[in-house]
Amino acid sequence: MPELPEVEVSRQGIAPHMIGQSITAIVVRQPQLRWPVPDAVQQATGQVIHAVRRRAKYLFIDTPMGSVVLHLGMSGRLRVIPASTPVAKHDHLDIVLDNGQCLRFHDPRRFGACLWQGQDDPSLPLLEKLGPEPLTDEFDGKHLHLFSSGKKVAVKNFIMDNHVVVGVGNIYANEALFASGIDPRKPAGKVSRSRYDRLADNIKNVLSRAIEQGGTTLKDFTQTDGKPGYFAQHLRVYGRANAPCEVCETPIKSVTIGQRNSFYCPQCQR
C-alpha cells in the first residue's frame, strides 16, 4: 500500500506537468472506486490547476472552483502521459489537460478514490480529524507524549493512528522504532518524553530519506515515471525476519501487532 513517502513522490512527479494547465475533460471509466466518483468532479473542467497538494495520503488538484481529491488506495498509480495513449485494463480515470497530456489513474484493486472538495464546501469528513503532518514543526516528541498519556495500545499502533500523526505507515513505523530502540509492542503510555523526542526525530528522518529515494517498492508501487522506489534497499528491519540485526547480529523477530506484520530486534529495542 502506498504510504506517505510514495504519495509525496507521486505529487512531486505529477505537479510540474499539471500546474498552470487547464483541465479540458475528466473521463471517468469506472465510477465505483472505494467510494462512488461524484458527478461534482466535473466542476473542475475548464479550470486552471494552480497547485497540487498533499494532506496525509490524499492528493489535492487545486482549481479556482475547488479540488479533485485523489487517494491511491492499495494499488493506485498516477502517470502523466499523452491523452491519446491507449487505455489499459484498470485505467479508471483521466484528467485531460489542454496541452494534450492527461493524468491517468490506474488501480487494479479499486481501493483508491476520486472525490471533490468545492471551494466553499465544508471539509470532507474523512479529513476533519487528521493529526499533524509528520514533516512539520507541529509534530514533535511533546505532541506524541501528550497524546500517549494513559494509553495501553502498542506504541507501533499509536504512531500509525492518523488521529495522532498522519502518514506513518507500517513500513516506516517499523524502521523509526528500530532507529529509536523502542520495542513496537511497548504500551504507548509507558514511553518516556525523551524517547518520544527521539522517535519523532527518527520518524521525520525515515520519511524524509524514503522520499529522497523515491519511496519503497515492495509489490505494487512505482514512481510516476514507472521506476521503482529505492528505499527498500535501506530497510533495516522491515521484511527481514530471522536475518541478523545490522547492529548486534541478533536475529530479527516478526510478530503481528494490530493485524500487521511487525519486525524488531529483541536486543536493540526495549
- Residue 71 labelled as part of a binding site: no
Q: Give 215-246 pLDDT, tens digit per residue.
A: 654 333 333 445 444 456 679 999 999 999 99
Cβ within 8 Å of residue 139, ≥6 positions away: 131, 132, 133, 165, 200, 203, 204
Cβ within 8 Å of residue 234, ≥6 positions away: 209, 213
Pairing of strands 77-82, 91-97: unpaired
Residue 57 falls in the annotated catalytic set: yes
What sign does the dihedral 66-71-72-76 (CA atoms) show? negative
Q: Which has more confidence, 198 or 219?
A: 198
Would you state the cell numbers that stand for residue 173, as one nine-digit string?
A: 513505523
Q: Which residue has the cell 512539520?
A: 136
Count CB neighbours of 141 within 10 A.
Answer: 19
Identify the CA nearest to 18 among candidates 103, 116, 140, 110: 103
Domains of the chain: 4-127 (3.20.190.10), 141-264 (1.10.8.50)
- From 114-128, 142-156, 187-201, 228-242, the region with the lowest mean pLDDT: 228-242
Catalytic residue among 2, 5, 134, 184: 2
The partner residues of 187 in beta bridges, in order of sequence, read 154
| Spatial contact of 147 and 92, defined as CB atoms under 8 Å apart | no
Residue 204 falls in the annotated catalytic set: no
Catalytic residue among 11, 54, 57, 77: 57
Q: Give 2-24 pLDDT, tens digit per residue.
A: 889 989 999 999 999 999 999 99
Residue 260 falls in the annotated catalytic set: yes
- Residue 143 labelled as part of a binding site: no
- Residue 109 labelled as part of a binding site: yes
Residue 2 falls in the annotated catalytic set: yes
Q: Give 130-178 pLDDT, tens digit per residue.
A: 999 999 999 999 999 999 999 999 999 999 999 999 999 999 999 999 9
